[in-house]
Amino acid sequence: MDLCLFSCHHNDFSGKSKTAILNNAANYIALGELKGGIDPAGADEHWKTARSALNRIRSALASPAIFFIGAAIEPAMSVEIWHDLETGVLKNAANLNHDDQVASFAAWLVNL
């Protein structure tokens, strides 16, 4: 996971407290993948890798909100991402090249 949002104070995320936080599924608020590569030729591969990681998280943890952020999103990927958003598999997604999507994502994350 590239981005993780936990239910804890940042000062608690160290030493034994960190281990306790990581071992308690209730502490996971949101988890997501960030793919910042801008090469359209590799975008599909980045999405497949991210989707695989997100699926593993979904299998292990039922509660956190799952999201994807990418800089290069090709049309075929966007169809899959949109489907995952509509079905609730993804709770949010954004294209880093669209300021309105990044702002919307940031507002969503802050409101969690």
The confidence band for 41, taking pLDDT boundaries of 50, 70 and 90, is low
Cβ contact 43:73 at 8 Å: yes
Sign of CA dihedral 91, 95, 96, 101: negative
- The SS3 assignment for 80 reads helix
> From CA 102, how far away is CA 104, in angstroms rounded?
5
> What's the whole-number average pLDDT of the chain?
88
Q: What is the pLDDT of residue 63?
A: 82
Predicted TM-score (pTM) of this structure? 0.85
Q: What is the mean pLDDT of residues 31-60?
A: 79
pLDDT reading at 16 higher than 70: yes
Q: What is the pLDDT of residue 57?
A: 84
